[in-house]
Amino acid sequence: MRDFRLKVFTEEQQRFAYPNFWDFLALSFILAVFVLIAWGAKQMALPYQVGERLPLSLSPHYLPQYALRTFLRMNIALLFSLLFTFIFASWAAKSRRAEQIIIPLIDVMQSLPVIGMLSIAIVGFIKLFPGSLLGPECAAIFAIFTAQVWNMALSFYQSLRTVPAELIEATQMFHLSAWQRFWRVEVPFAVPGLLWNMMMSMSASWFFLTVAESVTVSHQTITLPGLGSYIGLAILKADLHAVFYVILTMIVMILVYDQLFFRPLISWAEKFRVEQETTVTHSFSLLIFILKKTRLIPRIGVLWANITDRIINISIFRKTRNKENNFYKTKKNSHDYLWQAFIVFLLLSSLSILAWFIFTTLSLQQLLHVVFLGAITGLRVLVVLIVASIIWVPIGVWIGLRPKVAEFAQPIVQLLASFPANLLFPVVVLLIVRFNLNVQIWVTPLMLLGTQWYILFNVIAGASAIPKDLKLAIDNIGVRGSLWWRKFILPGIFPYYVTGAITAAGGAWNTSIVAEVASWGKTTLEATGLGAYITQYSRQGNFPFIVLGMSVMCFYVLLLNRLVWRKLYKLAINRYSLEG
Amino acid sequence: MQTRPVIIELNAINKSFQQAERQELLVLDNINFKLHEGEIVALLGKSGSGKSTLLRIIAGLIPASSGDVWYRERPVKGPVYGMAMVFQSFALLPWLTVLENVEIGLEALGVSREERRERALKTIDVIGLDGFETAYPKELSGGMRQRVGFARALVINPDVLLMDEPFSALDVLTADNLRSDLLDLWQEKKTDTKGIIFVTHNIEEAVFMADRIIIFDSNPGSIRADLVVNLEHPRNDQDIPYRKMVDEIYGLMLSLPQGKKQSYEQDLKLRRIDLAYRVPDVNVSELMGLIEMINSAEYQGRLGMAELAESLHLNVDDLFPLVELSEIFRFSQIIEGEVELTLAGKLFAEADILERKKIFARHLIKYIPFAKRIRWVLDERPGHHASRERFLAELEDFMSEAEARHTLKIIIEWGRYAEVFAYDDKTGLLSLENP
């Protein structure tokens, strides 16, 4: 009787909801997407033998097809990333023992370069699907997955750890089952952070696309049809037209993806923000606009709500009423010491296996050489950070202090962040060859390309988070010039800057595998460094060298995290945080 | 009243929290209490008296360290069916609408979609949230949000309603309004709820609502008094019996526990503390505000606790530590439930900024033993400086690490104000040099 207020469709209303023009538009769009996905999926499972060459053409006519296949790979990877995130991040958040293993593992995995993971995983996947293209396809998807998943999992884990205690108590008081709590409380709470990280992950996967789509196994390179391999071929053939076409395709794809996927999600995720004030920053989304005009779709929405309701409240997960409730996590485990001993044992044994593997196949000289290469790449990372900071901190501050500009700049920066470094190879290589520049120094800008955006993102965020009153007060007492920078804005954005710099540094190490070897046509410029080393041996499929290179890179990244970044982060939180 | 059936019974509840290795902090000490049908019971105490912890033990959210809780003759070993809780911060799910938030408890019980909706709408009606069904919590004011909290609790027809400072996050008028509405619901028996237990630090609120008030002692939390409130509803806070009750409770909460009474009487004018004293969380400007207020022309240096609370707009949580500290500093003393300034207090109130600092410094060194200790160490040391960690370690002989940190932080703040010593947060050094 009161339902009319609730926008719940009564049976009568549902019967008389004739479809309108917008329904046809929306439905044909949805059907088209299904057909394309089905076609793309079929292409992925064609029969294939290792050694066969897959046809790849630089003709722009093939670009839509390649774009579709790349798109599918990225989305399948994203799906698996979400699955991984839900399972392992929540496991780590719920169980202290799982946490002790999963979180450090993610930390390590995050610091491993994509290409290395690929060379290690490919053999297994080809064995898993013999005689089918699915093997290489899975390997490529796995590589994209490794570029996406870690930050998503960490963000989800952080969110689960910070669900307000009273919300948890409320769910316990009202007897929600763990399953209900997961979908009703924990996932919604994590959605804004997770979504933001999904966007970052998509950028990262674009960035490493070229690497992911050319799979090397037993000295043979399998290039899967897709935008990444198209870029690779265009560079090999030194075809500037092709480079231009692919840049155009990518921009279109990123924009379409933003419109169809992220914008609807962002506007939907607005309601999951816990902040109590209503900040209305509605980003326009064409899809949502059309869906709102339709008549049939809202009915599907009701159906959808019914289905999710059934799933969330599925009875097997519900606690039976008569079951004795017990306190959550109150039993103290007497096996804790045993467990810790087990972890230490696990760590020591894996380290010794690694050491054994490296030292039986390689000599100490080689090891020292790789450590030296790591130091050189580390130096490049440092230079990249300094240069990026000098360029982007002032610009970021300028943008961040102007909310209108910031709103406009955000999506552009995001687009730029997804831009693969390889696409700049022609420019860099031609300049270096033309002006006879030092390769060691001038490949560094390529590393800058992928990493600078993290700094810019965070500086913009930091500058816009500075309270307006504080800025006015500083202006009011006449603080200007270098004093304004030193005493006001730099300390003000410091926590954000550190967050950005940490991500940028991690990214720069990873980018070195793409940036230290730049090629254009027959010219290949190789700088000395750990990234070049890993790339070189990955192309040859030389297992011990890949493992060595990756271990050293991982070691550097973790060591710097502990020694430098964590301390800076603590300082930022303790001294420069604007919140109380 | 005592012949009515017992709903909840607590036997010898103790609760301690592990602070560090082999260091336990006792927060609840031997709590015994019964809730009968038809009763509203208030748990009243200062912060740190463990009253919220006790409520969570009753709710089955956290286990007691020893002792047991019985609900309808069954032991409580986790959240039980039949109890519902209202939270201080509302604890609503921001991504669900008002209706969905109210439905969630029914959803967990496996009630069908149709029945769920019907019951939720009915409760929303009763609680006065009509028209807000599709609103999200962030669109609502604090008072409306807490109404959702009540609706969510009441929709499952709880036998017992537990409330953890349900009105303390609301402004005065909204809280009054919501309290009256809740009492109306209760008295008109519009719910099946048989008993209410609520936690509060607001004396007026306890007297206004409760049939019984249980007053808690702090450090560790224990029951000091169990008072029956024999006042007719609706209660008028201007009635003489009502005021007497409020004054009586202030008196009870100010005095020391029965066992220590003797020494307190002897020591009335010379309340001494030792190194192990956990200083209350009070900053210098609050203390000055209090003393200026009592010294003002209106009060002439003497003021009752209830009026003081009202004119300073402070609840007991904030007022009691303030009064206690003023007493320790010998700026005021308590005589027959009234706060009266000492001569030093009057001088302090009338002094200028620099003079005040001097008076404060003298009293700090004289009456706060640990401040004296810090000054002594700094005087003795050749370089006149010592690390913060050093003093922290000394304090940890007497109290837990967290408490030691807290105590030292406050004493350092006082010392810096009084210029008795200086402190550099970057280096963590205390010194005598004045920057």
What's the DSSP call for residue B235?
P
Query: Do A169 and B91 count as a contact with CB atoms less than 8 A apart?
Result: yes
Identify all chain A residues contacting B134, using CB atoms and an 8 Å cutoff: 5-7
**B212 in a structural domain:** yes
Q: Check pLDDT > 70 for residue A275.
A: no
A132 and A173 part of one domain: yes
pLDDT of residue B87: 92
Same domain, B297 and B393: no
Domain assignment of residue B126, yes or no: yes
Claim to verify: residue A297 and residue A399 sit in the same structural domain: no
Residues 6-65 of chain B with CB under 8 A from chain A are: 56, 59-63
State how far residue A220 is from chain B, nearest Cα, in angstroms: 52
B378 and B343 in a common domain? no
| Chain B interface includes A272 (CB < 8 A) | yes
Q: Name the 3-class secondary structure at B195.
A: strand
Are B413 and B342 members of one domain?
no
Task: Label residue A421 by pLDDT band (50, 70, 90).
Answer: low
Closest CA to B94 of A234, A513, A346, A192: A192
Confidence bin at A259 (pLDDT 50/70/90):
confident
A residues 203-232 near B, CB within 8 Å?
none
- Which amino acid is present at A54? L
**Is the whole-model pTM more than 0.80?**
no
Domain that holds residue A255: 62-277
Among residues B202, B232, B254, the one where a domain terminates is B254
Q: Report the range of poorest mean pLDDT among A4-8, A180-184, B236-240.
A: A4-8
* Residue numbers in chain B where pLDDT is lower than 70: 1-2, 19-23, 255-273, 276, 434-435
A119-147: average pLDDT: 84
Report how far residue B127's alpha carbon sits from residue B177's, in angstroms, rounded to the nearest whole number.
12
Question: Which CATH number belongs to the domain containing residue B308 in this structure?
Answer: 1.10.10.10
B70 plus B105 within the same structural domain: yes
Cβ-contact A231, A421 below 8 angstroms: no
Regarding whether B199 and B341 lie in a shared domain, the answer is no
Give residue B426's domain range: 368-431
Closest in A174, A180, A325 to B77, CB measured: A325
CA distance A308 to chain B (A): 12
Is the bond preceding B220 in cis, omega lying within 30 degrees of 0?
yes
Do A174 and B121 make contact, defined as CB atoms within 8 angstroms? no
pLDDT score of A179: 85
Half-sphere exposure for A145 (CA within 13 Å, toward CB): 18
Per-residue pLDDT reduced to its tens digit, B184-193: 989 888 888 9
> A32 and A135 share a domain?
no
Q: Tell me, what's the pLDDT at B42?
A: 95
Q: Are residues B340 and B224 part of one domain?
A: no
Residue B6 burial (CB count, 10 A): 15
Please report whether residue A333 resides in a domain: no
End position of a domain, from candidates A277, A302, A328:
A277
**What ipTM was estimated for this complex?**
0.73
B373 lies in the same domain as B336? no
Contacts with A326 from chain B: Cβ below 8 Å: 77-78
Do A129 and A247 fall within a single domain? yes
Please tell me whether residues A431 and A539 are part of one structural domain.
Answer: yes
Domains held by chain A: number: 3
Specify the pLDDT at position A523. Answer: 81
Q: Is the model's pLDDT at A16 over the cut of 70?
A: no
Q: Name the one residue in this structure whose structure tokens are 């009870």.
A: B252
Residue B358 lies in a domain: no
Total domain count, chain B:
3
CB atoms within 10 A of CB B202: 19
CATH of the domain at B235: 3.40.50.300
Q: Return the pLDDT at A395.
A: 92
Looking at the domain assignment, is residue B278 inside a domain?
no
pLDDT at A576 over 80: no
Is B279 within a domain? no
Question: Using one digit for the tens of pLDDT, what is the confidence trace for B67-87?
Answer: 999 999 899 888 888 899 999
- The dihedral through the CA atoms of A405, A407, A409, A413 has a sign that is positive
B113 part of contact set with chain A, CB < 8 Å: yes
Beta carbon pairs, A and B, within 8 Å:
99
Query: What CATH number is given to the structural domain containing A506?
Result: 1.10.3720.10
Query: Is the residue at A7 inside a domain?
Result: no
Convert A429-467 to b/e letters by CB count within 10 Å (16 or more is b): beebeeeeeebeebbbbbbbbbbbbbbbbbbbbbbbebe
Same domain, A206 and A291: no
B271 falls within a domain: no
Other Cβ atoms less than 10 A from the Cβ of A166: the count is 17
Instruction: Give pLDDT tens digits for A502-551.
Output: 888 888 888 888 788 877 878 888 888 998 898 888 777 777 888 888 88
User: B77 and A166: CB-CB below 8 Å?
Assistant: no
Tell me the mean pLDDT in the region A140-148: 89
Q: What is the pLDDT of residue A465?
A: 80
What string of DSSP letters covers A418-486?
T--GGGGHHHHHHHHHHHT--HHHHTHHHHHHHHHHHHHHHHHHHHHHS-HHHHHHHHHTT--HHHIII
A348 and A216 in a common domain: no
What pLDDT sits at residue A145?
92
Tell me if B354 is assigned to some domain: no
Q: Could A327 and B62 be called an inter-chain contact, meaning their C-beta atoms sit closer than 8 Å?
A: yes
- Write down the H helix ranges in B267-400: 284-295, 305-312, 316-328, 343-350, 353-367, 369-380, 388-395
Residues A76 and A141 sit within 8 Å (Cβ to Cβ): yes
Q: What is the structure's pLDDT at A297?
A: 66
Mutate to test the interface with A, among B16, B21, B61, B118 (most CBs of A within 10 A): B61
Residue A247 lies in a domain: yes
Are B104 and A276 in contact (CB < 8 Å)?
A: no
Domain end point (choices A264, A297, A312): A312
Shared domain for A391 and A483, answered yes or no, is yes
Alpha-helical regions (H) of B133-283: 142-154, 172-187, 203-209, 240-254, 261-266
Within 10 A of A3 (CB to CB), how many other CB atoms are there? 13
Look at residue A321 in the predicted model and tell me its pLDDT.
45
Question: Is A276 an interface residue toward B (CB < 8 Å)?
Answer: yes
Q: Is residue A55 part of a domain?
A: no
CA distance A538 to A534: 6
Chain B partners within 8 Å of A187 (Cβ): none
| Distance in Å, alpha carbon of B85 to nearest chain A alpha carbon | 7
- Placement of tokens 């955006």 in the chain: A453
Q: Which among B62, B80, B108 has the least Cβ separation from residue A176?
A: B108
Output the DSSP codes for A381-400. HHHHHHHHHHHHHHHHHHHH
Query: Nearest CA to CA, how far is A149 from chain B (Å)?
Result: 25
* Average pLDDT for A234-257: 86
Query: CB A309 to CB B131 under 8 A?
Result: no
Does residue B256 come out as left (phi exceeding 0), alpha (psi in the -120 to 50 range) or beta?
A: beta
Domain identity same for B68 and B113: yes
Under an 8 A CB cutoff, do A326 and B136 touch? no
Residues 356-385 of A with CB under 8 A from B: none
8 Å CB contact between B27 and B17: yes
Question: Are B108 and A177 a contacting pair at CB < 8 A?
Answer: yes
Note the pLDDT tens digit of each residue in A544-575.
888 888 888 888 888 888 888 888 888 887 77
Domain for residue B319, yes or no?
Answer: yes
Q: Are residues B250 and B295 located together in one domain of the fold?
A: no
pLDDT of residue B59: 92
Asked whether residue B398 falls in the same domain as residue B311, the answer is: no
Query: Are B178 and B306 in the same domain?
Result: no
**Residue-level pLDDT at B22:** 62
Asked, for residue A460, whether it belongs to a domain, the answer is: yes
Is B128 in the same domain as B22? Answer: yes
The whole-angstrom separation of Cα A241 and Cα A58 is 9
Contact across the interface for A277 and B136, Cβ inside 8 Å: no
In a domain, A334, yes or no: no
- Residue, of B221 and A329, whose pLDDT is higher: B221
In-domain check, residue A400: yes
Query: What is the per-residue pLDDT for B86?
Result: 93
Instruction: Assess whether A166 and A130 both reside in one domain.
Output: yes
What pLDDT, on the 0 to 100 scale, is given for residue A515? 82
Q: Give the mean pLDDT of chain A.
A: 80
**Residues of chain A contacting B160 with CB distance shorter than 8 Å:** none
* CB-CB under 8 Å, B138 with A328: no
Residues A222 and A301 placed together within one structural domain of the fold: no
- Is residue B89 within 8 angstroms of chain A, CB to CB? yes
- Residue A18's pLDDT band (cuts 50, 70, 90): low
A518 and A383 inside one domain: yes
Look at residue A173 and give its three-state secondary structure: helix
Say if residue A280's pLDDT is above 70: no
Residue A56 lies in a domain: no
Based on the domain organization, do A434 and A525 belong to the same domain? Answer: yes
